[in-house]
Structure 1
Amino acid sequence: MRPGSLAGGAAALLLLTTACMGGTAEPGKDAAAGYDPNATVEITWWTGQTEEAEKVAERLAAEYHTAHPNVTIKTSTGAPTTDDLLTKLSAGFTGGTYPDISYAYGSWAGDLGASGKTQDLSEYVQQPSFGWTEIPEAARQTATSGGKVIGVPALVDNIALIYNTKLFDQAGLTYPTDEWSWDDFRNAARRLTDAKTNTYGTAYSVSGSEDTTWHLWPLLWQHGGQILDGTKPAFNSDAGVAALETLRQMAVDDKSMYLDQTDERYWRLFNSGRIGMMLSGPWSLIELKEAKLSYGVADLPGFNGDHQTVSGPDLWVLFDHGDANRAGATRAFTTWLTSAETDAKWNLAVGNLPLRSTEASTPEFAAYVKEYPGGQKFFDNLANAKQARPTAPGYEELSRNVGDAIAEVLQGKSTPKQALDAAAKKSADALVN
C-alpha cells in the first residue's frame, strides 16, 4: 500500500453497500466444483496497476496463455487509478460486469467479503502445493474476511524508519538503530528541525486517508491496544490515547513534524532533503533511488522494547460468476501468478518485496537488494508485522473517522481522548451494520 492509497470514498462505499444486499454466492458451495482444467475459458483480470506495471502484467498473461492455450486472460487496469477500483467493482456487482480477479487494497477486504460475490478459497489455499504459509501471516490474515479466504496477497510491505544520513551528519547525530524508542525518535526530530531552512525532523499525513490512519496502528499495538474488541471500536483506549499523544507532542509541542495535507508532499520533501526521518515502506525505495539520496533504514521506534509495525498488503480477490470452469481457471492462474517463480517476474521486477519467504535465496531477490539499499531491512521487518488491520465490514468508515481524528489532534484542534472517543462513536454503527 503506497501513499495516496485512499480507503475509498463515500460514494464507493454506498455503491458497495447496495451491492452487498444482492450477493449470489451460495454459502458452503465450492465455486470451482466440477472444474475441467481442459475447458476453453476466458477470464477477466483487473490489475489495478500503473502503465509500466500493467505492461508486465500483460506479458505474464500472454506467457500463461502460451502454456495454457485453452485459457484466455483479458487484462486491463480495471479503472483509471487503483483508488477507483472499489467504485468500479461496486458498480459491477450491481450490473453483473465484475471481473474474475481484481487487485484490491487490503483495507477493502471486509466490504468485498460481505458482497457475496467472492470465492471461498479457504480449503484451496491449504493444499500443500500452494505454499500458503510461505506468505507472511499478516498478509494471510488480510486475505481472510468473514471466516473465509477471499483472495491471495498480491503485495506485502511494512513501515520502517527511513532517515537522511546527510542531515544526521550535519546535526551531529548518531544514526537510528533497531533499538530506538519513541523518545529517541522525538529527540532526534527536535534536533533535526531548523525553521531557518524549513527543515523538519519528521512528517505525517493529515489528509484523513488510510495513510493517516495506519501509521497510528503500530503505536497502538506497541502500547498493548487493539483496533476492535469484537465488532466494537477499541482504539480509543488508554493505549490509543497514549499512542496519539506521542505524535501530538512532536506536531504541536515540538513543531518538529511536517503535516502533509495530501499524502504526496512529505515523501517528496524527504527526497529533496527537507525532512530528516519518515515512517514509510519499501515503495519509497524506488523514488529514493531516483533522487540519489543517501539514506538508511531501521526498524520502527518501539515502546518498552516492542517494535511492532503494520503491513498494508494488497490482494488478488477472486470472484464467483456461477461458472465452475471460470472459477477454477482463475484459481489456477492466481496460483501460478503468486508462485515463487512467477512472483520474481512480477513483484521483484516492479520494485516490490517478494511475496514468499522462499524467494529470499533467489538471484532475483539478490538483485533487488543490490538495486534498492534497505530492501533487506524491509524484508526482515516483515517479522515485526505481527497483527493485521481488521477485515470486518465497516473498516473503511472507521479508517476515515480515525484519520480525521488524528488530523484534528496533530493540528492542535482537539485532544487525543476527545478525538478518538468521537471517532469511536461515529464508527460503532458502521461496524454493526
Structure 2
Amino acid sequence: MKKRMGFALLLILALVLGTLSGCSNGKSGSNSGNSSNDSGGKTEIVFWQPDLANWQPLYNKLVKKFEESHPNIKVKMTNIPEEGYFEKLNTAFAAGKGPDLWVGWYATDEFDRGYIASIDEFIEADNWDMSQYFQPITDLRLKGSDDKYYGLPRDFSNYVMLYNKDLFDKAQIPYPTDNWTFDDFRRIAKQLTDTDSKTYGTDIVTDGWGDSPLLWSLGGDMISDDGWTVKGILDSPQTVKWFELGQQIVNDGSNLPSSIAETMTGDNGPFGSGKVAISIGSMWGYNSLKDLPFKFGAVSYPQIPGVENYGWSDIVSWFMNSKSKHKQETWQFMKFMSSTEIAQEVVEEMTWGPPIPSIWEDQKLVEDEVLKVFYEQGKRPTKTPTYVRSNSWQAIENSILGIVTDTLLPLKGTPMKNPQEVLSKAADEIQKTLDETKGRK
C-alpha cells in the first residue's frame, strides 16, 4: 500500500478495486495451476505481493522464517508493482489460475464472486481467535455477506491528525489536545496561516474531506453501508452541513490551495514540506514521518460536542485462492503471517502497523507520543471506508470528485457552488447510476 492515501488517492484506488469484477467464479478444491510439489518432496505455494522495494527485505526474512519452521513447505514469492498488480491477478483468476496466496484489499461484495476462499473451516479447526485483531474493522473488512471470513489481516492502519510543533512553537500556540473541538481546529488553523510565507493552517479540505470520521460524527455519510444508496444520505442535512463547514475553512484562507498542494510531492505531501500546520497522517506512512525535518505530534480528530467520536481504520490482508490445491499449506502461511510472533517481528521496523492490539501494549508502542494516538483511534467505533463498501464506488467516483471540486475546490475564477443544490442534484444522478449498475450485476 502506498505510504500516503489522501482522499483523491482513495478514490483512484477504488478503480483498482473494481478490476476484479470480471473474474470468473472458482470451485473450492480445483487446481490453481501455479502451485506444485518440487523434487525434494516439499509442497510449494505461490505468493504474490505488490509492496515497495524497501519492504522486500522484511518479506524475505519472514518467508525464510516460515520455511524454517515449516520444512515441508516452500514459498515462491513474487513482487509485482502495485500499478499493474490487480490487473495481473484478474487475468490469472479469470484463467482459472493465480497464486495460492496474495496481499489485497477489497470491498466485501467481492467475496461473492467465488475466487477468494472462505477460511472459516481453518479458523474453526485451529480455534483461531479473530477477536485478537483490531475490531470492529477486521470483521467489517473480512466478513462476506454469508458472515464467513475471507482473509486474515496483515496490518492495521488509520488516520490521525498530525501537527507541526515548530510552527506552533513559533506562533506560541499551545498544542492541540484530545478534547479539542472543531471550532478550536478552525481557530488554530486560521492563526497559523501566513500567506506571505506561504504557510497554511491545514490541508484537510484538500486531502481528506470526503471519507472522514468527522462527517460520521456529524451523522452524515457519502453512501449507505452496503454501498448502493446515496439518495437521502449524500444529500442529507448532516452531509450538507459538512460541506458548508469545508467552505468556511476555505473562505477563512487557512486551507492550503490545491494549486500549491499539487506542487508538493513526497511521502508526506504538503505536511512534509513544513508549510502546513495541521494535516492528516496515515499509519501506512509512519516510517516516512521519522524523516521529517521538524518536530511533529499527533492528536485525535477534533470533537463535536455531545457526539461520540469515530475513528477511521482499515487493513490490508492475506487472501487464499479458492482454486488452490494446497489450501492447508496456504492457511499455515496465512496464519503464520498474521500471528503474534510476526507482529512482534514487524514492530522492530514498523514497516506496517501490527494488527493485534495486545502487541501494541506488550511492545509499549502505546507509550510513544505519536503511536499511542494511532492505537487509541483504532479502538474507537468506526465504519467501513466508503470506497470499499461495495464495488459500486468505481461507477460514481468521478461524480464524487466533481462534488468536492464544485463546492470546495473550484477552478480558478469559479465561485463555490451551494452544497445543498450540488448534493441534491448529485444524489439523484448518482442514485440512477447505481441502480443501473446494480441491475447489470
Change (3 A) 1:188 1:322: same
Q: Which residue of 2 aligns with 1:414?
A: 417
Question: Would the aligned equivalents of 1:161 and 1:299 in 2 still touch at CA under 8 Å?
Answer: yes
Q: Does 1:428 align with 2:434?
A: yes
Change (3 A) 1:303 1:361: closer
**Partner of 2:283: helix, strand, or coil?**
coil
Question: Would the aligned equivalents of 1:395 and 1:431 in 2 still touch at CA under 8 Å?
Answer: no
Change (3 A) 1:357 1:350: closer
Shift of 1:333: 0.9
Change (3 A) 1:414 1:274: same
Q: Is 398-407 or 61-70 further displaced after alignment?
A: 398-407
Q: Which residue of 1 aligns with 2:269?
A: 268
Q: Which amino acid aligns with 1:232?
A: T
Shift of 1:129: 4.1
- Distance in 2, matches of 1:59 and 1:229, equals 39
- Distance in 1, matches of 2:205 and 2:86, equals 22
- Spell out, residue by residue over 1:185-242, the C-alpha distance to the aligned partner (whole angstroms, 9 max, x if none): 1111111111100001011475xxxx756x5331221012343065312333222222
Question: Would the aligned equivalents of 1:247 and 1:410 in 2 still touch at CA under 8 Å?
Answer: yes
Q: Is 343-352 or 155-164 further displaced after alignment?
A: 343-352
- Distance in 2, matches of 1:242 and 1:100, equals 47
Change (3 A) 1:71 1:418: farther
Shift of 1:423: 4.7
Q: Which residue of 1 aligns with 2:160?
A: 160
Q: Which residue of 2 aligns with 1:386?
A: 382
**Misfit runs of 4+, over 6 Å:** none
Shift of 1:374: 0.4
- Spell out, residue by residue over 1:347-388, the C-alpha distance to the aligned partner (whole angstroms, 9 max, x if none): 6534432210221343xx33x567x64012211221124222
- Distance in 1, matches of 2:160 and 2:192, equals 18
Shift of 1:95: 2.5
- Distance in 2, matches of 1:318 and 1:166, equals 47
Change (3 A) 1:151 1:125: same
Change (3 A) 1:338 1:114: same
Question: Would the aligned equivalents of 1:302 and 1:308 in 2 still touch at CA under 8 Å?
Answer: no
Name the TM-score, length of structure 1 as normaliser.
0.83
Identity of aligned residues (%): 22
Instruction: For 1:277-292, list aligned pairs within 5 A.
Output: 277-292=278-293
Question: Would the aligned equivalents of 2:201 and 2:278 in 1 still touch at CA under 8 Å?
Answer: yes
Q: Which residue of 2 aligns with 1:145?
A: 144
Count of residue pairs the alignment pairs up: 409
Q: Which residue of 2 aligns with 1:376?
A: 372
Shift of 1:87: 1.8
Change (3 A) 1:420 1:124: farther
Change (3 A) 1:151 1:30: farther
- Distance in 1, matches of 2:109 and 2:208, equals 20
Change (3 A) 1:121 1:415: farther
- Distance in 2, matches of 1:13 and 1:386, equals 21
Shift of 1:9: 6.8
- Distance in 1, matches of 2:225 and 2:366, equals 39
Question: Would the aligned equivalents of 1:119 and 1:319 in 2 still touch at CA under 8 Å?
Answer: yes
Q: Does 1:201 align with 2:201?
A: yes
Instruction: For 1:245-264, list aligned pairs within 5 A.
Output: 245-251=244-250, 253-258=251-256, 259=258, 260-261=261-262, 264=265
Question: Would the aligned equivalents of 2:203 and 2:276 in 1 still touch at CA under 8 Å?
Answer: yes
Q: Which amino acid aligns with 1:125?
A: I
Note the aligned Cα RMSD (angstroms): 3.2
Unpaired stretches in structure 1, ≥5 consecutive residues = 32-38
Question: Would the aligned equivalents of 2:108 and 2:142 in 1 still touch at CA under 8 Å?
Answer: no
Instruction: For 1:14-413, list aligned pairs within 5 A.
Output: 15-19=19-23, 22-25=24-27, 40-77=42-79, 79-81=80-82, 83-105=83-105, 108-110=106-108, 112-125=110-123, 129-136=127-134, 137-147=136-146, 148-204=148-204, 206=206, 212=208, 216-226=211-221, 227-228=223-224, 230=226, 231-233=228-230, 234-251=233-250, 253-258=251-256, 259=258, 260-261=261-262, 264=265, 267-304=268-305, 305-321=307-323, 323=325, 326-346=326-346, 348-362=348-362, 365-366=363-364, 373-389=369-385, 390-412=388-410, 413=416
- Distance in 1, matches of 2:139 and 2:205, equals 27
- Distance in 2, matches of 1:283 and 1:30, equals 36
Q: Which amino acid aligns with 2:283?
A: P
Change (3 A) 1:361 1:184: closer
Shift of 1:418: 4.0
Shift of 1:405: 2.2
- Spell out, residue by residue over 1:377-410, the C-alpha distance to the aligned partner (whole angstroms, 9 max, x if none): 2112211242223532323444554344223322
